[in-house]
Amino acid sequence: MKTASKLASIFVATLASLSAGHAFGAERITATFGPIMRSIDVQELRVLANTNRATGMTASILKIAKISPEKAGTALRSPFALDGIFIGDILYTPLGEKILSQLGQIIHPLRSGTKTAIPALRSAVMLSVLDDNSLSPIELISNYPVQLTINLEALLALSKKAKNLDDLARILHDMPGDI
């Protein structure tokens, strides 16, 4: 049954990645920082990633956070090399489920919260990795299947601890329960 599930996931991811544009991805994200919530167009983030030029709400958030558009644009497009088949296999193991669950506390669907974070994250990762064996934050956001929420406070805390992908996997694995 697990093999059929993996094949179905890869099939759906492949179909979606062959579709024009980002029809299956989120059009907006909601960024939270403590009690503050702001909605951002994903297109603004794509522009930032491609040009290092911030517009709209993204420009306001970067100004408040004192982050340069160049630094944010570079971070959004920085790829992690990942083998698509290996990642597809790992994401269905208990370790992969735990990592997705922990990451789902930071990035999750807006409407259903963390309950559906695992399949949504798995889908976004697979869509991002299958075409070029790499994953960048802008690809993950663009390929996320529904409007998502990013807990910036938790993301910043995690980014200070994780200097690379191995650190990230170790930290997420070692975390007890919820973040």
Burial class of residue 110 (count of CB atoms within 10 Å of its CB; 0-12, 13-18, 19+):
middle
The single residue listed with the structure tokens 């193991």 is 93
For the entire predicted model, the pTM comes to: 0.76
Domain positions in the chain are 2-174
The tens digit of pLDDT for each residue in 18-68 reads 333 444 577 999 988 888 899 999 999 999 999 999 999 999 888 887 889
